[in-house]
């Protein structure tokens, strides 16, 4: 069963790569067929990856997410699910050029942590920790999508300010649409990051009797960045360029937690992969 799960894993990665190719082709050529093929390839990739995760769940007989491999694959899958929902309602395919490469990167990086499914260690068992994991995955996916919209916003703004007509960059979505996608994605991310922070802090205190661990502290700091993002938009009118920069800073901080702090700087979290 696990061999089939692995096969589906790589088929999903290939489907995401094909989807990226079609999204890029659609952006350049504006042919409807390439846009349709991009969506189909990405949707199939998400469906295949869901199958891979389901088979791993059947093999492990436990909620997934406790290992580095599972966590990154789930985040990649949620990025795709979130993006496809945005594409369905907004009819905008340009963002697909950003999210599909990240789904590939997360998945390929996950493979470097791969190990066969097995029982969790004791401190990672229970429905409470499951809620912690799931909220963390959804938040990470939402912030990835927000970063994509923020990057495209800054690119489009640069194009407008350059005062040089570029037929390719001129095809990017409007600044208003990109800002709206970015803002709504951050709102979703903050809601789930708040749950992540609360459940993680409570669990840390239960297990170690302290909140002072690099992961807990860095997660709180990332929450502060995004909370400031929302507060600045409401109270100081920080929309557009400044909020896009904040969304990218927050995303880079979230990525540093996963790829630097978790494996190298957390002393209480003894489970690295």
Confirm whether pTM is higher than 0.85: yes
Say which residues have a Cβ less than 8 Å from residue 96's Cβ, sequence separation at least 6: 19, 20, 23, 38, 39, 42, 83, 87
CB 230, CB 190: distance < 8 Å: yes
Domain boundary residue among 116, 138, 170? 116
Q: Do residues 5 and 59 lie in contact, with contact meaning Cβ atoms separated by under 8 Å? A: yes
Question: Based on the domain organization, do 183 and 241 belong to the same domain?
Answer: yes
**Whole-number average pLDDT of the chain:** 88
Average pLDDT over residues 127-147: 90
Is residue 155 predicted with pLDDT exceeding 80?
Answer: yes
Number of domains in the chain: 2
Identify the top-confidence range among 123-127, 146-150, 259-263. 146-150
Candidates 75, 191, 73, 198; CA nearest to 132 is 198
Quick one: 42 and 169 in the same domain? no
The HSE-up count of residue 225 (CA atoms within 13 Å, CB side) is 23
Please check whether residues 107 and 136 belong to one and the same domain: no
pLDDT digits (tens, 9 = 90+) for 60-104: 877 887 788 999 999 999 999 999 999 999 989 999 999 999 999
- The string of pLDDT tens digits covering residues 24-33 is 999 998 899 9
Q: What percent of the chain has pLDDT over 90?
A: 60
pLDDT score, position 134: 92
Q: Answer whether residue 123 shows pLDDT above 70.
A: no
Could you tell me if 72 and 139 lie in one domain? no
> Average pLDDT of 220-225?
93
Which has more pLDDT, 139 or 65? 139
pLDDT, one tens digit per residue, over 173-219 is 889 999 999 999 999 999 999 999 888 878 777 777 766 777 888 88
The reply to whether 178 and 212 lie within a common domain is yes
Instruction: Tell whether the model's pLDDT for residue 272 goes beyond 50.
Output: no
**Structural domain range at position 252:** 121-273
CA 118, CA 114: separation in Å to the nearest integer? 12
Give yes or no: residues 135 and 109 share one domain.
no
Q: What is the pLDDT of residues 44-59, one digit of tens each?
A: 999 999 999 999 998 8
* pLDDT at residue 271, as a whole number: 47
CA distance 57 to 94: 33
Residue 138 shares a structural domain with residue 266: yes
Query: What is the predicted pLDDT for the residue at 137?
Result: 95
Residues 87 and 141 in one domain: no
Higher pLDDT, 48 or 116: 48
pLDDT classification of 122: cutoffs 50, 70, 90: low
Beta carbons within 8 Å of 28's beta carbon, 6+ residues apart:
168
Residue 223 C-alpha from the chain's centroid: 15
Residue 273 pLDDT exceeds 50: no
Give the CATH number for residue 31.
1.20.120
For residues 137 and 244, state if they share a domain: yes
Q: Do 212 and 272 belong together in one domain?
A: yes
Closest by Cα among 108, 115, 152, 150 to 239: 150
Apex 97 CA angle, 256 and 52, nearest 5: 70
Widest CA span in the chain: 60
* Percent of the chain whose pLDDT exceeds 70: 93
- 8 Å CB contact between 238 and 182: no
* 126: pLDDT strictly greater than 70: no
**pLDDT score recorded for residue 121:** 67
């Amino acid at each position: 069963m696990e061999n089939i799960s692995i096969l589906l894993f790589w088929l999903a990665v290939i489907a995401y790569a094909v989807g990226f190719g079609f999204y890029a082709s659609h952006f350049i050529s504006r042919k409807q067929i390439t846009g349709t093929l991009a969506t189909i390839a990405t949707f199939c990739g998400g469906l295949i990856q869901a199958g891979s995760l389901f088979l791993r769940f059947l093999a492990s007989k436990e909620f997934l997410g406790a290992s580095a491999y599972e966590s990154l694959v789930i985040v990649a899958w949620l990025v795709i699910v979130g993006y496809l929902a945005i594409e369905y309602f907004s009819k905008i395919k340009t963002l697909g050029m950003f999210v599909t490469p990240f789904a590939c990167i997360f998945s390929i990086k996950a493979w470097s942590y791969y190990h066969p499914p097995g029982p969790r260690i004791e401190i990672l068992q229970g429905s409470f920790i499951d809620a912690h994991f799931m909220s963390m995955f959804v938040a990470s996916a939402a912030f990835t999508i927000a970063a994509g919209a923020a990057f495209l916003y800054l690119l489009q703004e640069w194009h407008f300010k350059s005062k040089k007509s570029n037929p390719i960059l001129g095809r990017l979505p409007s600044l208003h649409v990109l800002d709206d996608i970015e803002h709504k994605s951050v709102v979703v991310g903050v809601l789930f990051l708040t749950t992540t922070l609360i459940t993680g802090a409570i669990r840390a205190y239960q297990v170690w009797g302290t909140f002072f661990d690099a992961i807990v502290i860095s997660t709180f700091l990332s929450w502060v960045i995004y909370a400031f993002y929302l507060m600045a938009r409401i109270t100081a009118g920080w929309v557009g360029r400044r909020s896009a920069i904040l969304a990218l800073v927050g995303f880079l901080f979230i990525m540093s937690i996963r790829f630097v702090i978790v494996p190298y700087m957390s002393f209480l979290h003894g489970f690295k992969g």
